[in-house]
Amino acid sequence: MERAAAFYQDMLELKLLFKAGPGLAFFDCGGVRLMLTRPEKPEFDHPSSILYFTVPDIRAAYAKMKEKSVHFEDEPHLIARMPDHDLWMVFFRDSEGNLMGLMSEIGK
């Protein structure tokens, strides 16, 4: 739990709101409260859904996290061309192996 909380605080630079005991941590994730805890039952002990973190500059965020030894699955790449912006993404793993994504909408 400490390793996972440190990842979200130090690597993703999310604001730690508070910890409750040794197995519960809450973070501010852009106005959404993110709770980290241990699985309560064996059927919950698996990687989660993908969280996408919106960043203004995906290449800068990628470089900064790469310097901190975050494991990336790929490099920033174009996902879709929209009428007013291009959607870019890159995927990485958190300290527990969960797949996460960075997302950036780059204006035209």
- Report pLDDT for 41: 84
Q: Across the 108 residues of the chain, what is the mean pLDDT of every consecutive 10-residue run?
A: 93 94 90 88 79 94 97 95 94 91 93
- Report pLDDT for 46: 78
- Report pLDDT for 45: 81
**All domains of the chain, ordered by start, with CATH?**
1-40 (no CATH), 47-108 (3.10.180.10)
**Long-range contacts: 4-12, Cβ < 8 Å, 24+?**
4/36, 4/94, 4/95, 4/96, 5/36, 6/95, 7/94, 7/95, 7/96, 8/34, 8/36, 8/94, 10/68, 11/65, 11/68, 11/70, 11/94, 11/95, 12/53, 12/65
